[in-house]
Amino acid sequence: MIWKIARKEIAEHLLSFRFSLAAMLCAGVLLLSCLGMYRQYEQRNRDYTLCQARQGEALANIPPTLLSLFAWGLEDVTGRTVDLRYAPHVMVLGVRPPLNPFDTFFPTFDLSYVVRIIGALVALSFAFDAICREGSNGTLALMLAAGASRGGILLGKLAGGFSVVALLFLFPVFLGLALLGILFSIPLTMEVLARILLWSGASLLYLFCFFCLGLLISAFFTTPRLSLLVCLMFWTMLIFIAPSAVTSVAHVETRLQSPVRFAQENLFSSKLAASQGRSNQEEGDRQLQKREARSHEMLRFTDLTLKVLRLLPGAAYVDLSTNLAGTGVAEMASYYSAMQRYIGAVIAAREQKEEAPSFSFTRSPLGDCLHSSIVAIVSLMAWAVAALWSAGVALFHYDVRTKEVGQL
């Protein structure tokens, strides 16, 4: 009976206008994201090559990763020029200016961004009326009279509907990768392929969470119109409002000093040191200590924010996808630690009038990336299990005679 319900669900979705519209939207957006992000990857690669060709500069720069197509994350912060000046001793971390000023206003259009926003909306659109439509049409009572169990109906709806959602997601993504491989001859190693497959699994888990949430809402309300309205409300809250609210609260709680005020205090301290006759070395060491203290403050802010954000499905998915791509917070923390050590080595070399050493950094292996993503994986699985279990409870108490949710 489960397979019959699943086949019926798949056939209805494939023949519906909703599927045609979602297929055009997903195919167009995902293919556009693949091509656009590859152009950014090429530009970032050219910038890295130009930076490596510079002479007489201390560079803390690492090559871009191909996986930034899937989750751009903090990829832009891995290009830094460490400029050390004396009289007084000042460090300046330069960053490549954005090629497009609108990059500051709008997030990067990577594949994870598409899945997080559009994919969640598509998953909800295929689940919001899965139960309440059958109840309002009277077919739910007919299926129960024909011998189908409530659990079987739920699992059939889940298998059929989510199969269509997975098809809408997987086909454009792998088609885009195939086109990139044919047009640009992208080299794909075994580790890159493994990370791509894991990212695809993480994306399916995220979409599964929202599909189960749609089933829950559909089983709890009696009309598709009301169910759609509640689904849109939850989508807006979980994707847009809650993450921004958590970040704002964490910023107030940690009282993080702004970069402008930090730079002004450093400038005032440098002028004061010059007027008091303190040595450049003393002032440089003092500013290094202040930078390290601010780095610890920033890490505290990041840690507090991530602990709360990982409880939300959208933020947990971003954390998981960026860690798999090597562009997440954990990777950037390792990069900053390596950069701090490099700055110390450059200062020592400049003091001894020696040539500055070259910067070296190795990206974290796949095992470490998965280890740093355990909380995000557990959070997504908990959301999926809780939503599916709640949908089963709501469907069990669904009164098909009155077409209302029974009292628990």
Closest CA to 123 of 155, 154, 175, 158: 158
For 318, other C-beta atoms within 10 Å of its C-beta total 24
pLDDT tens, residue order, the chain (408 aa): 889 999 999 999 999 999 999 999 999 999 899 888 898 888 888 877 877 766 555 566 788 888 988 998 888 766 555 555 443 444 444 444 444 555 555 677 899 999 999 999 999 999 999 999 888 888 888 888 888 899 999 999 999 999 999 999 999 999 888 888 888 877 778 999 999 999 999 999 999 999 999 999 999 988 899 999 999 999 999 999 998 888 777 666 655 544 444 444 444 444 444 444 445 555 555 656 666 666 666 666 677 778 888 899 999 999 999 999 999 888 888 887 887 788 778 778 777 877 777 778 888 999 999 999 999 999 999 999 999 999 999 998 877 665 544 433
Question: Is 100 a member of any domain?
Answer: yes
- Coil vs helix vs strand at 22: helix
CA atoms of 306 and 329, how far apart (whole Å): 9
The pLDDT of residue 88: 40
Looking at residue 251, its pLDDT comes to 65
Q: What domain count does the chain have?
A: 1
Q: Is residue 130 part of a domain?
A: yes
Q: Are 48 and 54 in contact (CB under 8 A)?
A: no
Report yes or no on 63 lying in a domain: yes
372 within domain boundaries: yes
The residue with tokens 């598509």 is 122
Q: What is the Cα–Cα distance from 262 to 295, expressed in whole angstroms?
A: 12
pTM given for the model: 0.85
Mapping DSSP onto H, E and C, the string for 71-130 reads CCCCHHHHEEEEEEECCCCEEEEEECCCCCHHHCCCCCCCHHHHHHHHHHHHHHHCCCCC
Residue 407 lies in a domain: no
What's the pLDDT at 100? 55
Assess if residue 258 is contained within a domain.
Answer: yes
Domain that holds residue 367: 2-402
Residue 408 domain-assigned?
no
